[in-house]
């Protein structure tokens, strides 16, 4: 774990932007840049969303701004891509703007917005992926895999680098708070080591398992959190 923490401190020096990346740790191979959803618009605007990749679906609720990133998602057979989709709904009868931006690494791939009362925004990548349809199985339900997610809060736009791992796989993710990290099909318990880059204020991290908070840590510049 100590070596991993050192690695998270070195990695951010490689670039000046931010983006979702999966970088292999140890014998874990590097993965393509992650698709991430940036929910933007009027500060504090409440939304609900359905987020899907090739084999899992999550229900997410939050407020603007928020980043939603899926880690450990797998490409579909016959394709090197990892299709993802978000359907977001405003929880307001007003005309405030809700905007969803889809990024792949540092690249903005698409953006969609609505100002309609209780408006709906839908966005996805890899529209031409043969046979891709977001799965009906919802994480954390009786028929679905465990719903494991980390919610990383801090000063708005605080940049962080983190090591996220289960019993077999580890990924390094570089992004900004607030961020909801969804762990696709975790193998065993999950833990994370998250390091601030700008030190704008303490990090506040919650680890959820099937909808309940199972661990909560506050501090900085490095916060370690483990699933009990």
pTM higher than the cut 0.75: yes
Mean pLDDT estimate for the chain: 82
Per-residue pLDDT, 79: 56
Determine what percent of the chain is predicted with pLDDT higher than 90. 50
190's CB contacts (< 8 A; 6+ apart) are 148, 150, 164, 165, 166, 183, 207, 226, 227
pLDDT tens per residue, range 161-179: 988 989 888 888 888 999 9
Per-residue pLDDT, 4: 33
pLDDT tens per residue, range 45-64: 999 999 988 888 999 999 99
Of the pLDDT bands very low, low, confident and very high (cuts 50, 70, 90), residue 140 is: confident
Residue 8, by phi and psi: left (phi above 0), alpha (psi -120 to 50) or beta? alpha
Domain ranges of the chain: 2-146+158-168+175-226
Name the nearest CA neighbour of 100 among 54, 58, 65, 128.
65
pLDDT > 50? residue 3:
no
pLDDT > 50? residue 11:
no
Residue given tokens 């579909």 in the structure block? 76
Phi, psi dihedrals of residue 13, rounded to the nearest 5°: -70, -10
């Amino acid at each position: 774990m100590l070596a991993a923490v050192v690695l998270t401190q070195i990695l951010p020096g490689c670039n000046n932007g931010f983006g979702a990346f999966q970088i292999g740790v140890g014998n874990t191979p590097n993965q393509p840049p992650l698709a991430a959803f940036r929910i933007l618009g009027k500060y504090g605007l409440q939304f609900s969303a359905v987020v899907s990749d090739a084999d899992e679906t999550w229900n997410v609720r939050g407020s603007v701004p928020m980043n939603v990133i899926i880690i450990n998602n797998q490409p579909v057979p016959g394709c090197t891509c990892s299709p993802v989709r978000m359907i977001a709904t405003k929880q307001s009868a007003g005309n405030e703007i809700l905007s969803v931006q889809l990024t792949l690494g540092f690249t903005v791939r698409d953006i969609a917005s609505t100002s309609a009362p209780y408006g709906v925004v839908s966005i996805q990548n890899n529209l031409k992926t043969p046979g891709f349809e977001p799965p009906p199985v919802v994480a954390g339900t009786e028929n679905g895999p465990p719903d494991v997610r980390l919610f990383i809060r801090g000063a708005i736009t605080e940049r962080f680098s983190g090591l996220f791992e289960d019993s077999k796989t580890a990924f390094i993710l570089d992004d900004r708070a607030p961020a909801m990290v969804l762990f696709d099909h975790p193998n065993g318990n999950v833990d994370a080591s998250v390091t601030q880059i700008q030190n704008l204020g303490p990090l506040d991290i919650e680890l959820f398992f099937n909808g309940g908070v199972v661990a909560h840590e506050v501090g900085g510049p490095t916060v370690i959190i483990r699933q009990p």
